[in-house]
Structure 1
Amino acid sequence: MHVALFTLGGTIAMAGTDRSAADPVVNRLTGADLTAAVPGLAESGVRLHVQDVRAVPSADLTFARILDVVAAGSRAVAEGAAGVVVTQGTDTLEETAYLVDLVWPHPEPFVLTGAMRNPTLAGPDGPANLLAAVRVAVAEPARGLGALVVLGDEIHAARRVRKTHSSSTGAFASPDTGPLGRVVEERVRILTAPPRHTPLPTPSTAALAEARVALYPATFDDDGTLLAGLPGGHRGLVVAGFGVGHVPSALAPTLGALAERVPVVLTSRTGAGPVLRHTYGAIGSETDLQRRGLLDGGLLDPYKARVLLRLLLASGTDHAAIRAAFAEHG
């Protein structure tokens, strides 16, 4: 039994140089270095086929790079891999994992992991996270669950996981649902299994480059001046509204005008909970904005909504199908 391991850099792959230097921590560990540092991995009975992808900070990852890894993961599964594990930086992990989940067509688990504490610090969490990720990748109960994020022995659905703290080893959580399961004493325990959606098509790199989607957060005393330049070169917009999907009343007409030209998706900036549909009726409320043509993002946070909208636009999805997709995925 083997797992395909792709390493993309990030904190989990960092090694120290000189703490007095200008750059005391750098990307330096290869996949072989990472696996050699994991106690119990050699005894697990799982062989790892390691591929070191270009190491970059997760802030420099792109749709195209992640979709290339998905394609490589598909080839690995076709060649007999029981699952796929990807190590990367955690800053964009919630977005890359969701992108993978939207397009991954196989029952074999696609597991993403990383670390919050690099190997130069006391108590680095990377080795434990990698070991847990490998265990999940070969676990029969994890099959058919799509893309999973595994850190701190918790197993999260890609569509719900969030990075909720900048530095804590307990940074990742699924605020609306909690984790799907846990790794307990080497055993993978799946406690709940959400339904899978039909995988979306993978667009070309050229189509992705043309499908730019803006993200606009509503803020206190916002007069909408920054919206004046949109959509410009953008083909879609995600609005991170207050609470259950509200914006200052001054923004409502502008957003309505934009929604006549490009898809505009309404989400909540709060970090958990849904956009409502028909509870409040004031100008700028969720009811008013949806009446003006904004699409309901449901439970999707703004970052995941942007991933979904860009993927749909790059695939040539029309407005009606975009609305239906958000009704299904949100």
Structure 2
Amino acid sequence: MIDSVRRVAVISLGGTIAMTAQTAAGATPTLSADDLVAAVPGLADTGIHVEVDDFRRLPGASLSFSDLLELAVKIETLAVDGVVITQGTDTIEETAYLLDLVTAGDMPVVVTGAMRNASMAGADGPANVLAAIRVAASSEARGAGCVVVFGEEIHAARWVRKTHATSPTAFTSYPGPIGYIAEDRVRIVTRPAGSAAVDPRDATAPARTAVVTVGLGDDGTILRAVGDQVDGLVVAAFGAGHVPMACVDALTDLAKRMPVILTTRTGSGPVLRQTYGFPGSESDLLARGLIPASTLAPMKARILLQLLLMTSATKDEITQSFNALP
């Protein structure tokens, strides 16, 4: 007889969703995964069997690549229909994209959190956890990659961004959510293209990467200073991939030594390839060896670059991976 009960693992990493205000000093992570699940009204009515795991109890800002790679390996061992990761919202967009790159298969992996801790009026954690569990247990979400569920919306890991420091509706994505939850039903309206998988067990080489955002009047000094400390660099450029002329020489030198990824700081839209031709334009920088990141946001471009360097990928292999982005 086939067991028709859907099974979901809820893995807690800490963050605001697991915080309570214990002292005047502020909220800190105190709630376990059991505590989070126990606080969800209506969960028993879903018929979904939930397993819990207190994997970490850290603020989102303190999670590391090693934490998440270890988590990815753990996810592969779970005999469940889906996985929910609860964590701090500071790094949800990065965590989700990293997990999207290092988890294979069709099983839903859902990341969620809360903007209001459990001690606050209108805490959003329980509703987000319930929605995330519904998505993780659903057949509709299979094959959609890692997603972020927040405020009844389902966002693809590649596109989701935190766009407000405090609002419960902080998470958005361009061109929009790929689905939503309504009347307890999971509805997926579009599916993102698959991400190239990186085996988390292969990501063992030491590597350091950084994002440098260019600004008005930059002369390349900061680029050179950061470039001396890293193995790969992401440039968050103006508009469709432009930098001040005074930065061109620094970027030319850096691109000879390491992979330098060209992204846009705008928050949406692509890095162009051949529309502008002035010094510091996208076509000029690409001709000097920079690698375009298509529509990948700067922080997510860093995630992909870091993982590739940790697998000892060559510059040509890194270029191929970024060129394959839709």
Contact residue 263 and residue 292 of structure 2 kept, 8 A:
yes
Contact residue 64 and residue 205 of structure 1 kept, 8 A:
no
Deviation, 1:173, is 0.6
* In 1: Cα distance, 2:176 partner to 2:236 partner: 22
Q: Letter of the aligned partner of 1:273 in structure 2?
A: G
Contact residue 223 and residue 250 of structure 1 kept, 8 A:
yes
Q: TM-score, normalised by structure 2?
A: 0.96
Deviation, 1:206, is 4.2
* In 2: Cα distance, 1:74 partner to 1:206 partner: 18
SS at match of 1:237: strand
Deviation, 1:230, is 4.2
Give CA deviations for 1:209-257 in whole Å, capped at 9, x if unaligned.
x211121110111111112234324111100001111111000111011
Which residue in the other structure is 1:318 paired with?
314
SS at match of 1:121: coil
* In 2: Cα distance, 1:163 partner to 1:311 partner: 22
* In 2: Cα distance, 1:72 partner to 1:248 partner: 45
* Corresponding residue to 2:56 among 54, 57, 77: 54
Which residue in the other structure is 1:145 paired with?
144
* Corresponding residue to 2:179 among 178, 181, 184: 181
* In 2: Cα distance, 1:230 partner to 1:38 partner: 45
Give CA deviations for 1:298-330 in whole Å, capped at 9, x if unaligned.
100100000001111111211222111111225
Contact residue 73 and residue 201 of structure 2 kept, 8 A:
no
* In 2: Cα distance, 1:308 partner to 1:206 partner: 14
* In 2: Cα distance, 1:254 partner to 1:314 partner: 25
Aligned length: 321
Match status 1:223 vs 2:222: no
Give CA deviations for 1:142-185 in whole Å, capped at 9, x if unaligned.
0011111000010000011000010011100112x200000001
Deviation, 1:195, is 2.3
- Inter-CA distance 59–96: structure 2 relative to 1 (3 Å threshold): same
SS at match of 2:305: helix
Contact residue 211 and residue 313 of structure 1 kept, 8 A:
yes
Contact residue 203 and residue 314 of structure 1 kept, 8 A:
no
Q: Letter of the aligned partner of 2:199 in structure 1?
A: P
Deviation, 1:73, is 1.1
Deviation, 1:203, is 4.7
Which residue in the other structure is 2:168 paired with?
169
- Inter-CA distance 315–205: structure 2 relative to 1 (3 Å threshold): closer
Match status 1:81 vs 2:66: no
SS at match of 2:110: strand
Contact residue 262 and residue 291 of structure 2 kept, 8 A:
yes
Which residue in the other structure is 2:46 paired with?
44
Higher mean displacement: 197-206 or 121-130? 197-206
Which residue in the other structure is 2:251 paired with?
255
Which residue in the other structure is 1:295 paired with?
291
5+ residue gaps, structure 2, are 1-5
Aligned positions of 1:59-208 closer than 5 A: 59-76=61-78, 80-175=79-174, 177-203=175-201, 206-207=204-205
Deviation, 1:67, is 1.1
Contact residue 132 and residue 153 of structure 1 kept, 8 A:
yes
Match status 1:309 vs 2:305: yes
* Corresponding residue to 2:17 among 12, 32, 35: 12
* In 1: Cα distance, 2:112 partner to 2:250 partner: 40
Contact residue 203 and residue 311 of structure 1 kept, 8 A:
no
Contact residue 267 and residue 301 of structure 1 kept, 8 A:
yes
* In 2: Cα distance, 1:71 partner to 1:292 partner: 38
Match status 1:271 vs 2:267: yes
SS at match of 2:140: helix
SS at match of 1:143: coil
Q: Letter of the aligned partner of 2:126 in structure 1?
A: P
Q: Letter of the aligned partner of 2:26 in structure 1?
A: P
SS at match of 1:53: strand
5+ residue gaps, structure 1, are none
CA-based RMSD of the aligned residues comes to: 1.2
Q: Letter of the aligned partner of 1:106 in structure 2?
A: G
Which residue in the other structure is 2:3 paired with?
none
* Corresponding residue to 2:277 among 281, 306, 313: 281
Deviation, 1:201, is 2.2
SS at match of 1:321: helix
Contact residue 73 and residue 200 of structure 2 kept, 8 A:
no
